[in-house]
Amino acid sequence: MGILSFEKKVGKQRLANACKRAIDFGSYSFKAIQNILENNLDMIGNELLQDTELPQHNNIRGKNYYK
């Protein structure tokens, strides 16, 4: 009920986005959703969360090194 009460404060869409973000990170607690909403992390687009490819650099050995 606590999580659903956030809908009155932030609206249905922001709550849904916060829940989706919490699910992506495997964190299902009231406190996690509260922190996401308080820090406006639900408004950050998913494109920022995508894994980016590492740049080529001499210090990066890569997966072939460990075979």
Confidence class for position 19, pLDDT limits 50, 70, 90: very high
| Of the listed ranges 31-35, 41-45, 54-58, the one predicted with least confidence | 54-58
What is the pLDDT, as a whole number, of residue 38? 94
pLDDT at 62 over 90: no
CA distances from 48 to 11, 22, 42, 43, 51 (A): 23, 15, 12, 11, 8
Please give the mean pLDDT across all residues of the chain: 84
Delimit the domains of the chain by residue range.
1-44
Residues near 55 by beta carbon (within 8 Å), at least 6 away in sequence? none
Residue 20: the pLDDT is: 93
Q: Full-prediction pTM beyond 0.75?
A: no
